Amino acid sequence: MTTTRRLAPVLAPVLALLIAAAPALAQPVVPEGRARARDLGVAPGVLAPGRWNAITDVAGVRVGHTTVVEGDSVRTGVTAILPHAGNLYRERVPAAVVVGNGFGKLLGSTQVGELGELETPILLTCTLCVWRAADAMVDTLLTLPGMERVRSINPLVGETNDGTLNAAIRSRPLRPEHVRAALAGAREAPVAMGSVGAGAGTVAFGWKGGIGSSSRVLTRGLGGWTVGVLVQSNFGGVLTVGGARVGEALGRHPFTRALADSARPAPPPGSADGSIVIVVATDAPLSDRNLRRLASRALLGLGRTGSYASNGSGDYVIAFSTAREVRRAFDAPRLSTTELANDGGDLSALFAAAADATEEAIYDSIFAATTVTSRGGTVQAIPLDRVREVLGRKR
């Protein structure tokens, strides 16, 4: 049996041709019994979050999930991030990609790096589903009004390898209808987190990983801009939460066995290998060059959680600006944009917001995730009571 969960569709006219939207299925931000970082008293930084504490606090940004569960083998999905509700090919946004460790597949990244702009939604999925996701999105976008003469399109698709829980990963179980559902179901609303969408089968720090999201809103004196982050966590290291070494305290990190017995160096389930994709959105009018600088600060937030970008980890950051002042019409003979100056204090505050929101989004992806079982095994959700104990000892 296939279970497809998606966010309630709020379709802009240009998206109306994507699919005939089925009745929406309500989906909580956090499943019962799970939590967000702030529920545990963990609130990185001094800047306040937005109303949903999610990437969708950046006006116009929409997120949709399709979670795919089939029998005892398929535990995967796709997550779509739309920078705005219009036609991205015709109204492009400046964007940048930063690579922390390049053990992964980020389809379409070279053109983003070359031209500094994004012309499609961003999709996240499983490693062997990247090309199927891209093909389905291209097929869908080519049917939109104004796309009749388009002969080239650059889909941006990221991945992490969920092959432990997604035991049928070799069958590449993502289908076009899953991608269409995620695109059509994307909405400007609270973001469901944990074992959903592209996070359905992921593992982080040896516990169940998934989708997490957070945001920061700058005060008026700092520019009033918003920065939002969404992560697909499937990586490892020594989990650190607000400075507390949770992974060490709970005995789950890549070096547990090696430190206990040098004759048996094989790591336990808390392996450091894996990947993470971080998507950073802002309404600040940034050029693609300054978006690259913003994206690099997200890696600082990643490091705070205990990652050291292991050899087998693919760590990628995608950043874009939704500001109308910096959008780029595909057929414009010249660009005329108004962007933040390099020496403005706003940039430093934006950098802080990106690091803090990334750190919190990663915690949310783990704390919101539920235990998942498949033919590949069972990956437990992190025990929140134990996390509270460790955090309490630190305080």
Task: Decide: 9 and 21 in contact? Cβ < 8 Å.
Answer: yes
Name the token pair of 79: 């997550």
Residue reference for tokens 């950046």: 58
| SS3 of residue 15 by DSSP | helix
Q: Is the dihedral of CA 110, 113, 119, 121 positive or negative?
A: positive
- Residue 189 φ/ψ, nearest 5 degrees: -165, 175
Name the token pair of 218: 């700058």
Q: What is the DSSP string of 43-95?
A: --SSSBP-SSSSGGGSTT-EEEEEEEEETTTEEEEEEEEESSSS-TTTEEEEE
Which DSSP helix (H) or strand (E) runs through 5? strand 2-5
Active site residues: 275, 313, 315
CA-to-CA distance for 326 and 319, rounded, in angstroms?
14
In angstroms, the Cα distances linking 255 to 236, 238, 261, 269 are 11, 9, 10, 10
CA-to-CA distance for 347 and 311, rounded, in angstroms?
31
